Amino acid sequence: MEPGGELHHLAIAVNSITQALPFWRDTLGLPLIGIEEVPTEKVRVAMLGAGAARIELLEPTAPDSPISAFLDKRGPGLHHVALRVRDVKAASDSISAKGCPLIGAAARPGAHGSLVSFLHPKGTGGVLVELVQEHG
Ligand code: ZN
């Protein structure tokens, strides 16, 4: 992996952004950056935070959303850790060549015009890891 990877966001699976938002925005005081639907991933995403690293709330938009499956199995909570990379395709290829499997296609559209890849928890020690290239 290229040097300089830094935390981009932590993602939390929620049943409802409407219900979860008051805690993160009002109780903790994190500014809401925006809410957006990502149809290809069947999720609605709320981005919060004031610094470089964000908090992302993920709500399923369909029963067959990956977030629905996660909520059914484990309930609401931490879903994935996302690291910023300059070139998500190159980083994915390099990591996959070192033996860590990806989930789905590399360098696919994510929230806010980004390109993303997901690393399988089998290869990371149990944590779903997302790689994010902004403004892909
Ligand atoms: Zn994410």
Instruction: Give me the DSSP letters along 24-70.
Output: IIIIS-PPEEEEEEEGGGTEEEEEE-SSSSEEEEEEESSTTSHHHHH
Q: What is the predicted pLDDT for the residue at 2? A: 56
Taking the centre of ligand 1 as the mean of its atom positions, its distance from the CA of residue 67, in whole angstroms, is 11
Q: Give residue 10's region: left, alpha or beta (phi > 0; psi -120 to 50).
A: beta
Taking the centre of ligand 1 as the mean of its atom positions, its distance from the CA of residue 97, in whole angstroms, is 23
Taking the centre of ligand 1 as the mean of its atom positions, its distance from the CA of residue 98, in whole angstroms, is 22
Tens digit of each residue's pLDDT, the chain (136 residues):
554 579 999 999 999 999 999 999 999 999 999 999 989 889 999 999 988 899 999 999 999 999 999 999 999 999 999 999 999 999 999 999 999 999 999 999 888 789 999 999 999 999 999 999 997 5
Taking the centre of ligand 1 as the mean of its atom positions, its distance from the CA of residue 32, in whole angstroms, is 16
Tell me if the pTM is above 0.75: yes
Q: What is d(CA 131, CA 5) in angstroms, rounded to the nearest whole number? A: 9
Taking the centre of ligand 1 as the mean of its atom positions, its distance from the CA of residue 128, in whole angstroms, is 10
Q: What is the predicted pLDDT for the residue at 133? A: 95
